[in-house]
Amino acid sequence: MTAEVINGKELAQELRQNMKEEVKKLNEGGINPHLSVILVGNNPASRSYVKGKEKASAEVGIQSELIELEDSITEDYLLEVIEELNQNPSVHGILVQLPLPEHIEEQHVIEAIAPEKDVDGFHPVNIGRMMTGQDTFLPCTPFGIIKMLQSKNISIEGKHVVVVGRSNIVGKPVGQLLLNEHATVTYCHSRTKDLMKYTQSADIIIAAVGKANFIGEEHVKNGAVVIDVGINRLNDGSLTGDVDFDAAKGKASFITPVPKGVGPMTITMLLYNTIKAAKGLS
């Protein structure tokens, strides 16, 4: 068996084409979706992500504005900038690129964004709505993973999903979204004893632990679906995921690559949320 690769880049392009048409219709009705991105400091990885978001926004016709701030700014100043955007009716989505400098409390910043403009889906109000299965802005990476599974008609209902990783950005919310789709979900993490015992019984593995090639062939049962969220840079400069792709693809039925896997879907769902916000607010 060789796994079918779920190409996130191709799926993202397909979805963005549909979004382009939707934005065009909104423009004709006088609605111009507008995303404001705040970048604090000059973290090269963050700058690269922000550049990708700007490019993707332009591709579908979303107005994108980048607000660059020095990493020496105070938390209060950043909160004031966010409040101005909250009050600006032409701004539909607000995103503060993480991580932030150590002297700024991330949670204070996340909670300062108006829930109806929180296109990252991290505000406690939106997380609460997601937990209770209400319509809301879903966190972009978990939402993208669900779309990838659905694109291949992979059944989620009744399946055993093992999520390896428990971050607030990916691990916890993706488990909840899968639970909302009627999966049986097991969370594993750095303190889980005998990880293999859980992964070997999984119909779907979500690897979101941040360790290169952490999930090997021995973790995967025959026919399992393997979704790799990790992006790790090796000493030679190449990128790899949390899954040993070449080893696992011999046992899995479907697998996502790194790069061109989950990454492009994250930005695509951010665009989706921005359009959703524009439709809700305008």
CA angle in degrees (0–180, nearest 5) for 135-225-201: 105
Give the full edge-to-edge strand order of the sheet including 63-69.
63-69, 34-40, 93-96
Q: For residues 211 and 206, what is the distance between their CA atoms, to the nearest angstrom?
A: 13
Reported in sequence order, the residue ranges of 53-167 that DSSP labels E, i.e. its strands, are 63-69, 93-96, 160-164
| Cα 259 to chain centroid, rounded | 14
- Catalytic, out of 9, 25, 51, 53: 53
The answer to whether 167 is a known ligand-binding residue is yes
- Catalytic, out of 97, 117, 176, 244: 97
Q: For residues 12 and 268, what is the distance between their CA atoms, to the nearest angstrom?
A: 6
Question: Known catalytic residue: 97?
Answer: yes
The answer to whether 231 is a known ligand-binding residue is yes
The answer to whether 238 is a known ligand-binding residue is no
- Catalytic, out of 117, 118, 120, 249: 120
The answer to whether 57 is a known ligand-binding residue is no
Question: Known catalytic residue: 53?
Answer: yes
Question: Known catalytic residue: 246?
Answer: no
Per the annotation, binding residues for NADP(+) are 165-167, 231
Please enumerate, by residue number, every residue annotated as part of a binding site: 165-167, 231
**Active-site amino acid positions:** 53, 97, 120
